[in-house]
Amino acid sequence: MALLENRTAVITGGAQGIGLAIARRYVEEGARVVIGDLDEEAAKKAAAELGTDRALGVRCNVVDAGDVQALVDAAVETFGSLDVFVNNAGITRDATMRTMTEEDFDLVIQVHLKGTWNGTRLAAARMREQKSGSIVNISSLSGKVGMIGQTNYSAAKAGIVGMTKAAAKEMAHHGVRVNAIQPGLIRSAMTEAMPQKAWDQKMAEIPMGRPGEPEEIASVALFYASDLSSYMSGTVAEVTGGRFM
């Protein structure tokens, strides 16, 4: 049997990149997926590519609790359950502290930290009723070591780890597991647009000598979503090629 047969998963920020790779892998393993994304057209296009019988695209601003609740409701109403929730949506507004605006600090904290809190608490409220479920939060290596120009992003991603551990303790006796993934340098349109000097510097920090692929994050997200990780909660998986061990 496929690892996620007869299960329903919600992925925020699921219309592209790591989120879409996770959605695709989940469908391959038998899941029905609801893709939430700020770009409604992209969400619906991604769902169509995955198959309208297996996927649904919904507009969602994760900062808005009502939008996130609508994702939960869409999963239950369309596919009958909510078994996995992946908090993946995120943005960057990089700048040094000297030049970062207060608005860009607040926005990154809102999207990553409050967005993840909205997803975690609203998914958990549904999952505790059925006494089962897995919540997967996407943090970042930046939340472990801190990155220059990312005081907002590093703070938010570190906060996600603390939130994951606290939520895991609250929800364990309800049968709901909460875990986090910290990706390192993952190949994407955004990272490949870096200046060559910045790319080379990051590559030099990776013992495995290559960037990761979105599918490699998806594999870990599958592990956390499935029964393969049934005795794991409150953990953080570093998927970094050995960078900053």
Q: Each residue of 107-151: pLDDT tens digit?
A: 999 999 999 999 999 999 999 999 999 999 999 999 999 999 999
Region of residue 80 (phi > 0: left; psi between -120 and 50: alpha; otherwise: beta): left
Q: Tell me what percent of the residues of the chain surpass a pLDDT of 70.
A: 100
Domain 8-238, second-level architecture: 3-Layer(aba) Sandwich (3.40)
For 224, the 3-state DSSP assignment is: helix
**What span, in angstroms and rounded, lies between the C-alpha atoms of 174 and 50?**
32
* Closest C-alpha to 40, from 75, 71, 5: 71
Say which of 26, 153, 224, 231 is annotated catalytic. Answer: 153
**What is the Cα 68 distance to its own chain's centre?**
14
Q: In whole numbers, what is the pLDDT of the chain averaged over residues?
A: 97
Report pLDDT digits (tens) over 41-94: 999 999 999 999 999 999 999 999 999 999 999 999 999 999 999 999 999 999
Task: Report d(CA 187, CA 117) in Å as an integer.
Answer: 27
For residue 200, with 0-12 CB atoms within 10 Å meaning exposed, 13-18 middle and 19 or more buried, which class applies?
exposed
Place of tokens 């507004």: 93
Determine the Cα–Cα distance for residues 163 and 243; give it in Å rounded to an integer.
23
Strand partners, 86: 11, 136
Reported as a single tens digit per residue, the pLDDT across 92-107 is 999 999 999 999 999 9
In degrees, to the nearest 5, what angle opens at C-alpha 219 toward C-alphas 109 and 66?
Answer: 35
Residue 115 is predicted with a pLDDT of 98
Model pTM score: 0.97
Query: Reading across the β-sheet that carries 176-183, which strands appear in turn?
Result: 55-59, 32-37, 8-12, 84-87, 133-138, 176-183, 236-239
Identify the pLDDT of residue 189: 79
Q: Does the annotation mark 231 as catalytic?
A: no
CA–CA dist 95, 89 (Å, integer): 20
